[in-house]
Amino acid sequence: MRVIESISEMQQQADSWRRQELTIGLVPTMGYLHQGHLALVQKAIDLADRVVVSIFVNPTQFGPNEDFERYPQDIPRDLRLLDELGVAAVFKPDAASIYPQGYQTYVEVQQLTQPLCGHTRPTHFRGVTTVVNKLFNITKPHLAIFGEKDFQQLVTIQRMVSDLNMDVEILGHPIVRESDGLAMSSRNVYLNAEQRQTALRLSQALEQARRLVSGGERQPQAILEKVKNHLLEGGGITIDYVELCHLDTLQPVTSLERPGLLAMAAFVGPARLLDNCILTPPGAGLHDRTQ
Amino acid sequence: MRVIESISEMQQQADSWRRQELTIGLVPTMGYLHQGHLALVQKAIDLADRVVVSIFVNPTQFGPNEDFERYPQDIPRDLRLLDELGVAAVFKPDAASIYPQGYQTYVEVQQLTQPLCGHTRPTHFRGVTTVVNKLFNITKPHLAIFGEKDFQQLVTIQRMVSDLNMDVEILGHPIVRESDGLAMSSRNVYLNAEQRQTALRLSQALEQARRLVSGGERQPQAILEKVKNHLLEGGGITIDYVELCHLDTLQPVTSLERPGLLAMAAFVGPARLLDNCILTPPGAGLHDRTQ
């Protein structure tokens, strides 16, 4: 496995693979890898001839009071795990080469980035789309894989790629969970034992919503109230948002006639945690999504 | 010469050339080609194995009261001229395929787009960088050529490419002028005979500035005053801006110790005309540019 820090070396490696007509799969990460990341990497390995994993804690996607400075890291462990999986190259640039002095270009997806996480993190998605755009230009992938835990990120990147005619296929991968249901996240390490227990209420609340919808409930207000009540019961959680929205536009649904996204963000101790699921009303298939 | 309207067909053609290890040169235009455009095309033909010329009057780079609706067109003539030169493909998409319903992604270069034309045309460069980014992703060029008449556009695109790590070489080409000195522009067609004569004062004023600087003048205020006086003498011209600025940052210079850009925009009748030149004080070489 090559570990590449230089942008031009990475581009040359990608060019060389492309000349050999090898397909390239990219999994962009901020490191501190968990089983969720590794599932994305495995999917890339199944689909592409050469897999690149980028590890870059991207400063432009963090707000001023967020956890950029303390974002967890374990590069030796990350490299070992990726090597074992059969990754061809890890691209691990430093911030000064990604954002050199005088840097001033940003890629912005305007509407999809407004709701949900956009309220609390107004500059977050601009940082994400900008760095992912750069990573695509550097690693020249045929396909790239993103986790569905960051559902808004996934649809935002799909929109960027489609709008800018980038010739890359964007694939999602279902949320990978701990055995007790907690969605995997590098930020789970911020939780102490009690908070870790409290955090289970996110996935439990989603489960509750699923049961409600299976039972015939289609009113977003009723669903959201149950979910919020479950989250708040017993304390220790501050809700950032809980929303039921269209899968494509992320705008709130007024009645759940087609599959919709139930998305939440909540603070548990020092961690801001995300979780989501797709709620499908009985009789509505996922193919209804684009109707 | 292929005339391609479909984005995916253009991408496939570019992929096919790249698989054959042929280099691709792009000249993006809005059509109604003049000798200036053709000089860019000739340069591309000299440098690349396959040349693509795009013809697209890009709505997002026009302001609400500008000339989008009446921008001149002569596609049959454009195609004939390009075919004669040996262009491999003309990419000529329609606006609905470039900006489909729901389009919402923009590429923005923040600082370089503020001065000069940025004052009068605050959304212009965002439209330019966005469409050029898309054209690069569609035509996949190794190099692209832009005229130096739009100097701010050229450095803005160079900045975008460098900031976003796009693997494309951006080359400028000197302004091509009519025999009497008027910089070639598709918009010159807006001028009647009298205005056409008045418009000569732009290039004359640049010439005057050059003479002043050869004579030892290094004070921007003195140079700019002479230039403005010459432009205004006799009426018929409204100055948008005349500025003497750093070649790389486009910020005003306080004393002309190194080569600087003398840039102007002026309204002559219905036309907004641009012109510029690089002023080099005696003893300062162009290599001083980056010192």
Q: For residue A285, what pLDDT is reported? A: 65
Q: Which of B1, B52, B42, B57 minimizes the C-alpha distance to B22?
A: B52
pLDDT tens per residue across span B170-203: 999 999 999 999 999 999 999 999 999 999 999 9
Q: For residue B48, what pLDDT is reported? A: 98
Distance CA A32, CA A106 (A): 26
Residues of chain A with pLDDT under 70: 285-291
Q: For residue A290, what pLDDT is reported? A: 44
Searching chain A, which residue's CA lies closest to the CA of residue B21? A19
pLDDT tens per residue across span B90-133: 999 999 999 999 999 999 999 999 999 999 999 999 999 999 99
Tokens of B6: 């479909």
CB contacts < 8 A (A, B): 77
Distance CA A234, CA A201 (A): 10
CB A266 within 8 A of CB A231: yes
User: Looking at the predicted structure, is the pLDDT value of residue B7 above 60?
Assistant: yes
What CATH code would you report for A186-278?
3.30.1300.10
Searching chain B, which residue's CA lies closest to the CA of residue A106? B108
CB A1 within 8 A of CB A142: no
Of B103, B109, B164, the CB nearest to A133: B164
Cβ pair A110:B105 closer than 8 A: yes
| Burial of A69 per CB tally in 10 Å (0-12, 13-18, 19+) | exposed
Distance CA A169, CA A167 (A): 7
Cβ pair A107:B164 closer than 8 A: yes
Distance CA A264, CA A6 (A): 37
Q: What is the mean pLDDT of residues B233-260?
A: 97
- Amino acid letter, residue B282: P
Q: What is the mean pLDDT of residues B1-21?
A: 97
Look up the pTM and report it. Answer: 0.96
A138 contact B CB<8A: yes
- Which CATH number is A2-173's, of 3.40.50.720, 3.60.15.10, 3.40.50.620, 3.40.50.300? 3.40.50.620
User: Looking at the predicted structure, is the pLDDT value of residue B9 above 90?
Assistant: yes
Q: What is the mean pLDDT of residues B282-289?
A: 69
Kindly provide the b/e burial profile for residues A8-20, where b requires at least 16 CB atoms within 10 angstroms of the residue's own CB: eebbebbeebbee
Q: For residue B287, what pLDDT is reported? A: 59
Cβ pair A110:B104 closer than 8 A: yes
Of B7, B110, B167, the CB nearest to A137: B167
Q: What is the mean pLDDT of residues B155-182?
A: 98
Of A111, A129, A165, the CB nearest to B138: A165
Secondary structure (DSSP) of B87-114: -SEEE---HHHHS-TT--EEEEE-STTS
DSSP type of residue A66: S
Distance CA B21, CA B68 (A): 38
List, by residue range, all CATH 3.30.1300.10 domains of chain A: 186-278
Could you tell me which residues are beta bridge partners of residue B275?
B264
| Strand pairing class (B105-109; B143-147) | unpaired
Cβ pair A159:B112 closer than 8 A: no
- Under DSSP, is residue A112 helix (H, G, I), strand (E, B) or coil? coil
List, by residue range, all CATH 3.40.50.620 domains of chain B: 2-173
Q: For residue B290, what pLDDT is reported? A: 43
B107 contact A CB<8A: yes
Distance CA B291, CA B287 (A): 8
- CA A289-A248-A209 angle, 5° bins: 70
- pLDDT above 90 covers a percentage of chain B that reads 97
Strands, E assignment, B155-270: 169-173, 237-246, 260-268
Cβ under 8 Å to B: A residues 166-225? 166-167
Could you tell me which residues are beta bridge partners of residue A242?
A264
A103 contact B CB<8A: yes
Tokens of B288: 């001083």
Fold type of domain B186-280: Pantoate--beta-alanine Ligase; Chain: A,domain 2 (3.30.1300)
pLDDT tens per residue across span A119-172: 999 999 999 999 999 999 999 999 999 999 999 999 999 999 999 999 999 999
pLDDT band, very low/low/confident/very high, at B286 (cuts 50, 70, 90) = low
List, by residue range, all CATH 3.30.1300.10 domains of chain B: 186-280
User: Looking at the predicted structure, is the pLDDT value of residue B291 above 80?
Assistant: no
